[in-house]
Structure 1
Amino acid sequence: MPKVEPFDAVDVLRAKRNGQRLSTEQIGWIVDAYARGRVADEQMSALLMAIWLNGMSREETRDLTLAIVASGERMSFADLGKPTTDKHSTGGVGDKITLPLTPLVASFGVAVPQLSGRGLGHTGGTLDKLESIPGWRADLSTEDIVAQLRDVGGVVAAAGSGLAPADKKLYALRDTTATVDAIPLMASSIMSKKIAEGTGALVLDVKFGSGAFLTDLADARELARTMVELGEDAGVATSALLTNMNVPLGRAIGNANEVAESVAVLEGGGPADVRELTLALAREMLALAGRPDEDVAAALDDGRALATWRRMVRAQGGDPDAALPTAREHEVVRADRDGVLVEQRALPFGIAAWRLGAGRARKEDPVQHAAGVELHVKPGEAVRAGQPLFTLSADEAARIPRALESLAGAWRIGDAGDEVQGGGPLIAERVGR
């Protein structure tokens, strides 16, 4: 005989539609029933829209998150013999921080299980960047991940299909029902995967600004607060930094070029903003892991973090000394006057890199690892007429005109003393204990 369900989906939908709080049992049941196919897409779509319209309490959001975690397996690193700490970014343009950050934190004897994804649209994927290194592989078994954490300290790998499988169904539905930007749904989606991953501590890099998913600082603050509460409720030490994504991060946007920039940071150089954010997140991660007094800047400058990076790359089949892919076609855009660069909006530059081939429109699309944008000037810097502002690179010349179209009005040269747009501190706030 078929299983007798303890609730009726219509009753649950009606309750949320009417602004009532759902019980732990109702939320746990409907997530499980949807994962089992007992609740139809149209019914879950109605629930998602009711949540978008009416919100969820802290307890409901916690119950939703834990129900998604319970839909699959949960990793454990309890036998590693060292603390674990991880970082999650909500995504942005030029955001390659995972690459220098993971080996930096791991160089202090703290395990960093960084389970990442591939890019979709204008935000790049960490795995896409690393796959530009010849031989490097993202797909590791749980046993491989644990072994690498024990031997090397850091791992960046693809999240297994067994972690929070209900989230994959829910996310696909949110994408087609205009409910992606509901903060309880965003928070539960992100945190269910991180809780299932099994890390002991988690630092969230929540972006705001023109190149971020959430453009408004207040919305980013609410998302950060919600996710920190979810982490703490689940027993994961959690904090968040709210960081500015009005301007691209660093000077490289793409895949291979972002790897090269990350290595420059690991060598003690690189763009000042990439270094600043890497160090700030490393301090947060180490503090939550019980190591608040480490000199993270010294580890970048004396080669310790670089040595860990090279071991990480080799452990996953990559060659840290191999040449990275280079593009066949280039287009340099130059300044048309003397002055100061006062505007460089992140989103159009992310779209340009995507159109050049650095990103994908569908999950199954390939990426061109050599495609992307190099920024020769950042806001606030003086320029002379004819000076290169940025370079577009692609494997196919036909991609360049559409990339240039996306950059119309995305940058502006003003006069000395003009206000720089999208400015302000890189790190706006911290959320957490």
Structure 2
Amino acid sequence: MAAPEPFDAVDVIRTKRDRGELSDGQIDWVVDAYTRGVVADEQMSALSMAILLNGMQRREIFRWTDAMIRTGRRMDWSAVDRPTTDKHSTGGVGDKITLPLAPTVAACGAAVPQLSGRGLGHTGGTLDKLESIPGWRASLSASEMLDVLRSTGAVVCAAGDDLAPADKKLYALRDVTGTVEAIPLIASSIMSKKIAEGTGALVLDVKVGSGAFMKNVSSARELASTMVALGSDAGVNTVALLTNMETPLGLTAGNALEVRESVEVLDGGGPDDVVELTVTLAREMLAAAGLSGGKDPADALKDGSAMDVWRRMIAAQGGDPSAALPVARETHTVLAPASGVLARLDAYQVGVAAWRLGAGRARKDESVQAGAGVELHAKPGALVRAGEPLLTLHTDEPARFDRALEALDGGYFIAPEGSRPDLPALVIDRIG
């Protein structure tokens, strides 16, 4: 006969419903019991909604995160002969920063074990982008990850199912119960995986704006502060940057399109904003790992050392860094309707257009088109001329163009020539 459970799910729900604090024992039990199937989905749904409405104290969030970590394994990089450091982005449009960032930081002396995800909805996924490289594979065993990390200094791959499995189950539930926005649950979801990943230092890139999950600075700052506290309490040197996601990063949104742009950055060129954020985050990662004062990331991009790491890293995971990238079969060009200054280009609407062209997915089990996406010919602040290309849409299926154009309707604004639009800084704030 099975031993009785030490707590009752309804009592735990009532505690948080009535604005009480959950005890360590309650938290440990409910996370474990939900993972085991003892606590039902409808009960965890009720508890998640109570947390959304009534919040959690710092102690509760830390214990919840730790309980989620303990449902799986924690990775160990002690066999790596240099400090480990990682970056996590909360997601945006055109956010290909991991691709040039990981090899750049590795070229400056740190080891970067980067466990990444796939895109869902209007935000792109790092693994989808890298899988557009012929032969590259996302799934590695723990020993393969260690081998790639030791031989190249960086590895970007999928997280295994045994890394905070409670999070995978709870995330799916939050997605269908209107509780995704609960900051304690967002923070614990992200940080349970990042702490379990075992890195010694972590830099968080918390996006703010129309194309981001967090639409305003105050909510982004709350999330960033919560995650920095979780990392610090777990012994991981953690800092966060709030960065602008009102307009897409770089000039591309789409899988192979973003890889091509990332290679341009690694080759010493590329869009200014992608280079700026790559270098800024790389310096933060190196400082968090205790490696500031050594080789500067800007130099690693200029002298080819970051590109060398990229090529070795891609090859180590079965990819051909010299292979031609996929190109969409069909394109459609959006022309500027007037001359003037591009004052606004909405990141969310560009992201939805790229998604509808086939670059993203509505459900996790859907496939994506490697060549699909949106190419930008101008960024806010640039002078444009009527009739000249403003955007180019890429897809294998021309029937997708109409829906993508609908998504872009009203997504850009051209001000009279001589106007000076108020453009927010790329880096808004630093926490930690």
Q: Please state which band the TM-score falls in when normalised by the shorter chain.
A: over 0.9
Structure 2: how far apart are the matches of 1:49 and 1:378?
40
1:344 alignment counterpart: 345
2:226 alignment counterpart: 226
Structure 1: how far apart are the matches of 2:418 and 2:52?
44
Structure 1: how far apart are the matches of 2:417 and 2:231?
46
1:7 to partner: Cα distance: 1.1
Q: State percent identity of aligned pairs.
A: 65
1:184 to partner: Cα distance: 0.2
- Secondary structure at the aligned position of 1:15 is classed as helix
1:133-170 CA deviation, whole Å, 9 max, x = no partner?
00000000000001111111100000000000000111
- Secondary structure at the aligned position of 1:204 is classed as strand
Q: TM-score, normalised by structure 1?
A: 0.99
1:378 alignment counterpart: 379
Answer whether contact 2:373 2:393 (CA < 8 A) is retained. Answer: yes
Where structure 1 has 5 or more consecutive residues not aligned to the other structure, the ranges are none
Task: Report 1:190-209 matches (<5 A).
Answer: 190-209=190-209
- Secondary structure at the aligned position of 1:257 is classed as helix
- Comparing 315-324 with 287-296, greater Cα deviation is found at 287-296
Structure 1: how far apart are the matches of 2:61 and 2:418?
47
Structure 1: how far apart are the matches of 2:13 and 2:157?
37
Structure 2: how far apart are the matches of 1:190 and 1:317?
28
1:420 to partner: Cα distance: 2.3
Where structure 2 has 5 or more consecutive residues not aligned to the other structure, the ranges are none
1:137 alignment counterpart: 137
1:299 alignment counterpart: 300
- Secondary structure at the aligned position of 1:229 is classed as helix
Amino acid across the alignment from 2:247: V
2:370 alignment counterpart: 369
1:417 to partner: Cα distance: 3.8
1:312 alignment counterpart: 313
1:247 to partner: Cα distance: 0.5
Is it true that 1:6 corresponds to 2:33 in the alignment? no
- Secondary structure at the aligned position of 1:240 is classed as strand
Amino acid across the alignment from 2:158: A
1:419 to partner: Cα distance: 4.7
1:319 to partner: Cα distance: 0.5
2:105 alignment counterpart: 105
2:34 alignment counterpart: 34
1:401 to partner: Cα distance: 0.8
Structure 2: how far apart are the matches of 1:168 and 1:355?
26
Structure 2: how far apart are the matches of 1:424 and 1:367?
32
Structure 2: how far apart are the matches of 1:316 and 1:420?
44
Amino acid across the alignment from 1:361: A
1:2 to partner: Cα distance: 1.1
1:395 alignment counterpart: 396
1:238 alignment counterpart: 238
Q: TM-score, normalised by structure 2?
A: 0.99
Q: What's the RMSD between the two structures over aligned residues?
A: 0.8
1:264-304 CA deviation, whole Å, 9 max, x = no partner?
00011100000000000000000011111131111100000
Structure 1: how far apart are the matches of 2:409 and 2:346?
11
Structure 2: how far apart are the matches of 1:257 and 1:394?
11
Structure 1: how far apart are the matches of 2:3 and 2:241?
46
1:103-129 CA deviation, whole Å, 9 max, x = no partner?
000112211000001101000000000
Answer whether contact 2:339 2:417 (CA < 8 A) is retained. Answer: no
**Where do 4+ consecutive residues of structure 1 move more than 3 Å?**
none
- Comparing 382-391 with 226-235, greater Cα deviation is found at 382-391
Structure 1: how far apart are the matches of 2:398 and 2:46?
45
Amino acid across the alignment from 1:80: V
1:319-352 CA deviation, whole Å, 9 max, x = no partner?
1110000111110111122211111010000000
- Secondary structure at the aligned position of 2:114 is classed as strand
Structure 2: how far apart are the matches of 1:86 and 1:383?
38
1:274 alignment counterpart: 274
2:45 alignment counterpart: 45
1:411 to partner: Cα distance: 0.6
- Secondary structure at the aligned position of 1:190 is classed as helix
- Secondary structure at the aligned position of 2:115 is classed as strand
1:356-388 CA deviation, whole Å, 9 max, x = no partner?
000011111110000011100111111112111
Structure 2: how far apart are the matches of 1:105 and 1:232?
22
Is it true that 1:128 corresponds to 2:128 in the alignment? yes
- Secondary structure at the aligned position of 1:416 is classed as coil
Structure 1: how far apart are the matches of 2:25 and 2:83?
33
Structure 2: how far apart are the matches of 1:372 and 1:50?
39
Amino acid across the alignment from 2:23: S
Structure 2: how far apart are the matches of 1:332 and 1:7?
61
Number of aligned residue pairs: give it. Answer: 431
Amino acid across the alignment from 2:104: L
Is it true that 1:178 corresponds to 2:178 in the alignment? yes
1:81 to partner: Cα distance: 2.1
Structure 1: how far apart are the matches of 2:378 and 2:252?
11
1:11 to partner: Cα distance: 1.1
- Secondary structure at the aligned position of 1:413 is classed as strand
- Secondary structure at the aligned position of 2:429 is classed as strand
Structure 2: how far apart are the matches of 1:285 and 1:113?
12
Structure 2: how far apart are the matches of 1:337 and 1:79?
59
- Secondary structure at the aligned position of 1:155 is classed as strand
1:431 alignment counterpart: 431
Answer whether contact 2:109 2:291 (CA < 8 A) is retained. Answer: no
Answer whether contact 2:117 2:158 (CA < 8 A) is retained. Answer: yes
Structure 2: how far apart are the matches of 1:283 and 1:186?
26
- Secondary structure at the aligned position of 1:330 is classed as strand
Task: Report 1:55-74 matches (<5 A).
Answer: 55-74=55-74
Amino acid across the alignment from 2:77: F
